[in-house]
């Protein structure tokens, strides 16, 4: 039984998470490259006293232009602009450990943390798929285990770089003519399997020390990585039972890694389809489903399941001879989730596409504001979540509906703050301590 207040993260995606959202009359087909659109979303989320907002990303063109809005603004750049348009909300950018170098990326996140006054977060991903690999001189996607091994070393180097300045390295002593203390600089001098980095970083230590570390893979390697490094975890879970198992597993792995299990916040995704009545919510869900163009959905599914194009038939179930998760080199846990969902609910390919259309495997929940609040409260109090990744099917209207109708109920029930209060860092919002610098001597009272 979990008590206290829950954490809310707004997962923003152009016109919304439903793949057909861009086709609704209200939607702007150019929203994905509109700063005004994202400023508006950020301010709505801030009105709802969310802990943070989040942008997904990958260094590749994700889908065909025929299908839905494709391409996106680079998250760290966009979040820097949002930092100046907001005051309290945390700003979490996705960046890949497979297709970046630690020095450049550590510098960019340190810059965002300073510019935003300590509100930066990093969604650490290893990036599945050969499309991205081919943008970086590789013929094939690196093996899953290699991607996570590189991610581990990437984090170790980034953490050393962020700690390479002690907090009090800059003294600014004009009278003595000494700007800073070189003994407080600690170059990592890292020589490893994937990286060789002398250091130190060319940005001082930041308000948070380093960005909030978020992770979003749920495979064995993903969970092992999260238990070592992550302070928040995004996850797709279809049932409260699966979510509780995942939650308990991750907390116990974190304890086994020598960390406080309360210092890793588990945030399952939910796609809330909100209506004044249940019938209205279901009608909204149906309207979105009716706008799905099925051949795009089939191609997406074939890509996820790593089947040759043209394998699947709309009105038949998935093939019974799909390979096990261990044979998949892409996004392992999402593969298993989709296959299990189709088998458990005996779905045809057409029905499966309808179920995935809203949130690509995240839980879709259609109902009244009370019903949505009840579902959130149940998962929160029954040990399935420390909070939620809110994924509105349509933006901005779905976020507005959540903030105007669900947030007040959560506040009345004492589950969510009613105001931000004084400025805090993102890590403080999540109830997490500021990390100590690995190079600094502890100060004894
Ligand atoms: C809420 C959520 C957001 C994600 N965002 C991204 C993203 O922006 N970019 C990306 O490459 N992968 C993203 N992922 C995918 C994960 O990083 C990971 O590749 C996937 O869950 C499979 O991981 P696994 O192979 O460890 O199971 C996201 C996953 C979740 C649950």
Q: Residue 444 has what pLDDT?
A: 63
308 against 395, higher pLDDT: 395
Q: Is 393 in the pocket of ligand 1 (CB under 6 A)?
A: no
Residue 207 has pLDDT above 70, yes or no: yes
* Residue 222 CA, closest ligand 1 atom number: 26
Which residue has the CA at smallest separation from atom 10 of ligand 1?
A: 127
Q: Residue 354 has what pLDDT?
A: 85
In this prediction, residues 210-231 reach a mean pLDDT of 95
* Residue 333 CA, closest ligand 1 atom number: 27
Q: Residue 406 has what pLDDT?
A: 98
Tell me the pLDDT of the chain averaged across its residues: 94
* Residue 220 CA, closest ligand 1 atom number: 26
- How is residue 286 written in tokens? 């149906």
Q: Is 188 in the pocket of ligand 1 (CB under 6 A)?
A: no
Residue 378 has pLDDT above 90, yes or no: yes
Query: Who's near 193: CB < 8 A, 6+ residues apart?
Result: 149, 150, 153
Residue 187 has pLDDT above 60, yes or no: yes
Q: Is 216 in the pocket of ligand 1 (CB under 6 A)?
A: yes
| Closest to 434 (Cα-Cα) out of 156, 278, 219, 207 | 207
| Structural contact between residues 210 and 191, judged by C-beta atoms closer than 8 angstroms | no
pTM, to two decimals: 0.94
C-alpha of residue 217 to centroid of ligand 1, in Å: 5
362 against 206, higher pLDDT: 206
Interatomic CA distance for residues 123 and 108, integer angstroms: 14
Q: Is 9 in the pocket of ligand 1 (CB under 6 A)?
A: no
Q: Is 236 in the pocket of ligand 1 (CB under 6 A)?
A: yes
Q: Is 75 in the pocket of ligand 1 (CB under 6 A)?
A: no
Q: Residue 2 has what pLDDT?
A: 65
Q: Is 389 in the pocket of ligand 1 (CB under 6 A)?
A: yes
Q: Residue 84 has what pLDDT?
A: 98
In this prediction, residues 114-124 reach a mean pLDDT of 98
Residues 35-62 pLDDT 10s: 999 999 999 999 999 999 999 999 999 7
Q: Residue 357 has what pLDDT?
A: 82
Residues 59-100 pLDDT 10s: 999 778 988 899 999 999 999 999 999 999 999 999 999 999
C-alpha of residue 216 to centroid of ligand 1, in Å: 5
Query: Who's near 416: CB < 8 A, 6+ residues apart?
Result: 5, 6, 8, 49, 407, 410
In this prediction, residues 388-407 reach a mean pLDDT of 98
Residue 1 has pLDDT above 60, yes or no: no
Q: Residue 445 has what pLDDT?
A: 47
């Amino acid at each position: 039984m979990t008590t206290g207040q829950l954490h809310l993260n707004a997962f923003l995606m152009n016109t919304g998470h439903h793949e057909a959202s861009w086709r609704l009359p209200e939607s702007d087909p150019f929203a994905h490259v509109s700063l005004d659109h994202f400023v508006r979303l950020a301010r709505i989320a801030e009105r709802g006293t969310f802990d943070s907002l989040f942008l997904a990303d990958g260094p590749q063109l994700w889908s065909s232009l025929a299908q839905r809005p494709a391409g996106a603004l680079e998250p760290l750049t966009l979040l820097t602009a949002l930092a100046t348009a907001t005051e309290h909300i945390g700003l979490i950018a996705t960046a890949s450990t497979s297709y970046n170098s630690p020095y450049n990326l550590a510098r960019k996140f340190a810059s965002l943390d300073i510019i935003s006054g300590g509100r930066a977060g990093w969604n650490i991903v290893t990036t599945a798929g050969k499309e991205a690999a081919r943008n970086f001189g590789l013929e094939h996607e690196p093996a899953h285990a290699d991607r996570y091994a590189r991610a581990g070393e990437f984090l170790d180097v980034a953490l050393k770089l962020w700690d390479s300045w002690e907090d009090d390295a800059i003294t600014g002593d004009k009278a003595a003519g000494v700007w800073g203390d070189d003994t407080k600089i600690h170059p990592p001098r890292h020589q490893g399997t994937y990286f060789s980095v002398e250091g130190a970083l060319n940005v001082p230590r930041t308000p948070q020390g380093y960005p909030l570390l978020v992770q979003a893979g749920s495979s064995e390697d993903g969970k092992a990585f999260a238990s070592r490094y992550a302070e928040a975890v995004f996850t797709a879970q279809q049932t409260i039972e699966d979510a509780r198992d995942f939650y308990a597993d991750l907390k116990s792995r974190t304890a086994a890694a020598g960390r406080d299990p309360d210092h890793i916040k588990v945030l399952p995704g939910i796609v809330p389809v909100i209506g004044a009545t249940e019938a209205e919510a279901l009608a909204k869900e149906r309207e979105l489903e009716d706008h799905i163009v099925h051949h795009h959905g089939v191609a997406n599914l074939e890509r996820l399941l790593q089947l040759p194009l043209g394998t699947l038939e709309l009105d038949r179930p998935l093939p019974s001879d799909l390979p096990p998760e261990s044979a998949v080199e892409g996004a392992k846990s999402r593969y298993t989730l989709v296959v299990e969902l189709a088998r458990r609910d005996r779905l045809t390919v057409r029905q499966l596409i309808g179920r995935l259309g809203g949130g690509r495997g995240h839980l879709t929940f259609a109902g009244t504001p009370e019903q949505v609040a009840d579902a959130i409260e149940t998962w929160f109090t029954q040990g399935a979540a420390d909070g939620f990744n809110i994924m509105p099917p349509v933006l901005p209207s779905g976020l507005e509906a959540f903030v105007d109708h669900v947030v007040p109920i959560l506040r009345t029930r004492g589950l969510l703050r009613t105001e931000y209060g004084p400025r805090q860092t993102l890590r403080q919002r999540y109830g997490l301590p500021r990390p100590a610098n690995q190079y600094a001597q502890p100060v004894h009272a």
